């Protein structure tokens, strides 16, 4: 499968992970839209919220948001999940954006 985030998860681009656990990796967005712009990406390939069925994984992803923001001392942040092309989803491997600083 030709999925850029699967390749990143598998270390094919030597992307630096600012945080990782059993369920997900977290790395900086290549085209940041805020002072801090991170992506929480599940290790498992799921296209989007429209396809996910695993409640446990969804919970683990949100707890990963909590863990990485705590680790980096980010107290105030916005989370975004784009679902579907018309909503702006460009990478069809589920991910949670974490944005902080320089957003309105
Ligand atoms: P979406 O629009 O699908 O919700 O968000 C995809 C995000 O992934 C975009 O903000 C884009 O900048 C980011 N992105 C796309 N390709 C890469 C990549 O190869 N590396 C990193 N670090 N981010 C990427
Ligand atoms: Zn994938």
pLDDT digits (tens, 9 = 90+) for 7-18: 999 999 999 999
DSSP-assigned letters across all residues of 7-55 = HHHTTTT-PPPSEE-SSEEEEE-SS-SSSEEEEEEESS----TTT---H
Ligand 1 atom, smallest distance to 88 CA: 2
Q: Report domain 4-56+72-103's class.
A: alpha beta
Q: Kindly state if the Cβ of 47 falls inside 6 Å of ligand 1.
A: no
User: Given a cut of 80, is residue 104 above it in pLDDT?
Assistant: no
Give per-residue pLDDT as tens, 28-54.
999 999 999 999 999 999 999 999 999
pTM higher than 0.85 for the full model? yes
Neighbours of ion ligand 2 (CB under 5 A): 3, 5-6, 45, 93
Residues catalogued as catalytic: 95
């Amino acid at each position: 499968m030709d999925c850029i985030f699967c390749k990143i998860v598998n270390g094919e681009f030597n992307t630096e992970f600012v945080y990782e656990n059993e369920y997900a990796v977290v790395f900086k967005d290549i085209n940041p839209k805020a002072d801090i712009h991170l992506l929480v990406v599940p290790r498992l390939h799921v296209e989007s919220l429209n396809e996910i069925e695993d409640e446990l994984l969804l919970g683990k992803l949100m707890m990963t948001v909590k863990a990485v923001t705590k680790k980096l001392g980010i107290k105030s942040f916005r989370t975004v999940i784009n679902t579907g092309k018309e909503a702006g989803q460009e990478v069809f491997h589920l991910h949670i954006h974490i944005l902080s600083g320089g957003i309105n």
